[in-house]
Structure 1
Amino acid sequence: MSSDVNIAQFRFLQRLLLLHGHWCYRRISMMICYFFYKNITFGLTLFWFETHSSFSAQPAYNDWYLSTYNVFFTSLPVIALGVFDQDVSARLCLKNPNLYAEGIENILYSWPRILGWMFNGLCSSMIIFFLTTSSLKHHAFRSDGRVVDFSVLAATMYSCVVWTVNCQMALSINYFTWIQHFVIWGSIALWYIFLLIYGTLPPTFSKSAYLVLVEVCAPSPLYWIIIIFVVFSTLLPYFAFRAIQLRFWPMPHDVVQLDRNRGLKVKQIRDANPLPYIRDLALVLFLIQAL
């Protein structure tokens, strides 16, 4: 069936492509890379534990820890990233059409970027596991002088993972609203609420998590010191990489962000102007409708 088309409607292509096209491309790219990161960070701690225990088939975490990681403690920040994140404002995005070229040139979803996030997950898992195990070794963790057992190691290492991947999201996100704050810090709080409730269940159900937060982890200053130290050490390489990248090899959206933060007039970047692509697309759509 044919229909009349108002040619003036093609003016909406500019906002659709330059603004929403750039935002959606960046959100999807960041979501996929972050999925690789958070699952590699969590999964490889299991591998390091197995190598540390001579592949004895002893699981590193409680079964419910494994089941709830991707469902409750790390899912909402990713959803918020994919829906709300904006690296630059709508006005600056339309003023700098070169930002759309990041999608054309596949800058944000290239193999080097994906492998970089995977390598970040590998480094994070190693730092979390080895710092946690070495920090807990030979330390009295209970009031009666008993040293750390398997349940304390699992809860502490899992806490470090949850803190790290959510703080990594806080470092990676560009557009903070109350929703982002709620889902990121709420996911961390939800882990402790879960551990508190789950730990009060009978030992036949909670198993190694029985009262591990109330009686052991929460009252111990060492537990909180380890979390702060491990999270800071894990995020430091990414923070250093981003600082060096912004200083020497900024991407187009980094340039716009830096100029905006400095209060300077944002300059037009003309290295790769995507407007010809928009005109070609408009012509193709017009010919399709005409036929």
Structure 2
Amino acid sequence: GATAVEDKLQNGVPECIDKLAQAGIKIWVLTGDKMETAINIGFASSLLRQEMKQIIMNLETPHIKSLEKSGIKDEIELASRESVVKQIEEGKALLAASGASSEAFALIIDGKSLTYALEDEIKKTFLDLATGCASVICCRSSPKQKALVTRLVKSGTGKTTLAIGDGANDVGMLQEADIGIGISGVEGMQAVMSSDISIAQFRYLERLLLVHGHWCYSRISSMICYFFYKNITFGVTIFLYEAYTSFSAQPAYNDWFLSLFNVFFSSLPVIALGVFDQDVSARFCYKFPLLYQEGVQNILFSWKRIIGWMFNGFISALSIFFLCKESLSHQLFDPNGKTAGHEILGGTMYTCVVWVVNLQMALSISYFTWVQHIVIWGSIAFWYIFLMIYGTMAPSFSTDAYMVFLEALAPAPSYWLTTLFVMI
């Protein structure tokens, strides 16, 4: 009789790898399988294609085999090292000869050759060869070699590395990579326990990277840019007021207004943006994998975009300050003949800041949910509620904000008109 063990790919692996390749992600396979099995896996997973030219590195030369029979260790190591260097140079020559042609190369190297290729004197040229190939397969790799290859790519290219594995042999690789993903399965939970993220099947990597990866990059970059915007808008109005008062140390806003701006009146919409926003749908991410390159090329978090948001905040602050100052300083503020003091000007400016930064957030959001509606309009409403309640407290506590809303701001049409014009 005979016993056979079938080791097959999970469902969706070829399609997943093809999508990741379309997204511009470079995929290396580090496996303990023998070379023939690794090549078959490469073809089955769409990592290797028939039109690819394979650069195979191994130590199966007649000269090295004869030395292995003689058992002279030093000569074997010297010949093996020279053979690896020669094969690397020949591979680089093939890449150089291909020039800018569309011919794709695949590098396939066994564990013995990899031992010498990872030596300090050789690893730089080996990395140059490997990065020039469309696909790389390292077979008969030990757990240590998997970790060393990951470290070489991470330190040699400066790129973000992601390792995915399902067994104890992959633990070192998962820990060495910037991001380690463990697949829970029949090979135990060692990989999962040593990873940053756990998934049940390899095909889930497609959604993790192309959808959630893109969303997270878009959310975080927008969130940080908006934090710059709202704080510059708030801070510059304070600076302009200080300059307007000849730096007399008279604050533009009440102390509680200053303390609560980033706590209750502007931060919750930003947090909701960072959690729920979707610039494109999941279906769109699947259909156009190249959207993933937005994060790789840092398009949404470039200095140009950051400075643009900062400039927007500066312009918003100028508009708020000068419109409020000019609309309130040369007229009677209420029918009783009262003119606008610093508490009225400060309250009006603060109201305009709260409205402007939250409306800017509403315009920036791509995907509205009920959470965004609650936090944006709720932040604005809470400002009026707070101002009304705080102003009714004892003057010793509310200081210059005592009854400022109920008796000064709310009855004055100029307060509401100024707020409306600033928003427009």
- Which TM-score applies when normalising by structure 2? 0.53
Which one of 25, 36, 45 corresponds to residue 228 of structure 2? 36
Q: Aligned to 1:54, what secondary structure does the other structure show?
A: coil
Q: Aligned to 2:310, what secondary structure does the other structure show?
A: helix
Q: CA deviation at 1:142?
A: 2.2
1:186-232 CA-to-partner distances (Å, cap 9, x unmatched) read: 00000000000000011111111111111111111111110010111
Counterpart code for 2:358: N
Q: State how far apart, in whole Å, the 2-side matches of 1:180 and 1:40 are.
A: 22
Q: Aligned to 2:423, what secondary structure does the other structure show?
A: helix
Which one of 261, 270, 274 corresponds to residue 69 of structure 1? 261
Are residue 12 (structure 1) and residue 204 (structure 2) matched?
Answer: yes
Higher helix share: 1
Q: CA deviation at 1:124?
A: 0.7
2:346 is matched with which residue?
154
Higher relative contact order (CA 8 A, sep 6+): 1
Q: Aligned to 1:9, what secondary structure does the other structure show?
A: coil
1:271-282 matches, within 5 Å, as none
Are residue 45 (structure 1) and residue 237 (structure 2) matched?
Answer: yes
1:104 is matched with which residue?
296
2:216 is matched with which residue?
24
1:95 is matched with which residue?
287
Q: CA deviation at 1:11?
A: 1.2
Counterpart code for 1:104: V
Are residue 114 (structure 1) and residue 306 (structure 2) matched?
Answer: yes
Q: Aligned to 2:278, what secondary structure does the other structure show?
A: coil
Q: Alpha carbons of 1:145 and 1:89: their partners in 2 closer, same or farther (altered >3 Å)?
A: same
1:71-103 CA-to-partner distances (Å, cap 9, x unmatched) read: 000111011101100011111111111211100
Q: State how far apart, in whole Å, the 2-side matches of 1:110 and 1:89 are.
A: 23
Which one of 47, 69, 78 corresponds to residue 270 of structure 2? 78
Q: State how far apart, in whole Å, the 1-side matches of 2:219 and 2:369 are.
A: 16
Q: CA deviation at 1:8?
A: 8.8
Q: CA deviation at 1:146?
A: 1.1
Are residue 219 (structure 1) and residue 382 (structure 2) matched?
Answer: no
Q: State how far apart, in whole Å, the 1-side matches of 2:381 and 2:299 are.
A: 35
2:385 is matched with which residue?
193
Are residue 168 (structure 1) and residue 360 (structure 2) matched?
Answer: yes
Q: CA deviation at 1:141?
A: 1.4
1:149-205 CA-to-partner distances (Å, cap 9, x unmatched) read: 111101000000000000000000011111111100000000000000000011111
Q: State how far apart, in whole Å, the 2-side matches of 1:111 and 1:132 are.
A: 31
Counterpart code for 1:2: A
Q: State how far apart, in whole Å, the 2-side matches of 1:110 and 1:49 are.
A: 31
Which one of 331, 334, 356 corresponds to residue 142 of structure 1? 334
Q: Alpha carbons of 1:16 and 1:148: their partners in 2 closer, same or farther (altered >3 Å)?
A: same
Q: State how far apart, in whole Å, the 1-side matches of 2:334 and 2:256 are.
A: 24
Q: Which has the larger Rg?
A: 2
Are residue 229 (structure 1) and residue 395 (structure 2) matched?
Answer: no
Q: State how far apart, in whole Å, the 2-side matches of 1:121 and 1:23 are.
A: 25
Q: Percent identity?
A: 65
Q: State how far apart, in whole Å, the 2-side matches of 1:113 and 1:224 are.
A: 33
Are residue 202 (structure 1) and residue 394 (structure 2) matched?
Answer: yes
Q: Alpha carbons of 1:216 and 1:8: their partners in 2 closer, same or farther (altered >3 Å)?
A: closer
Which runs of no fewer than 5 residues in structure 2 stay unpaired?
A: 1-166, 170-186, 192-198
After TM superposition, the structure 1 stretch with the greater mean CA deviation from structure 2, 80-89 or 1-10, is: 1-10
Q: State how far apart, in whole Å, the 2-side matches of 1:219 and 1:80 are.
A: 34
Counterpart code for 2:314: L
Q: CA deviation at 1:70?
A: 0.2
Higher strand share: 2
2:168 is matched with which residue?
2
Q: State how far apart, in whole Å, the 2-side matches of 1:22 and 1:49 are.
A: 41
Counterpart code for 2:240: W
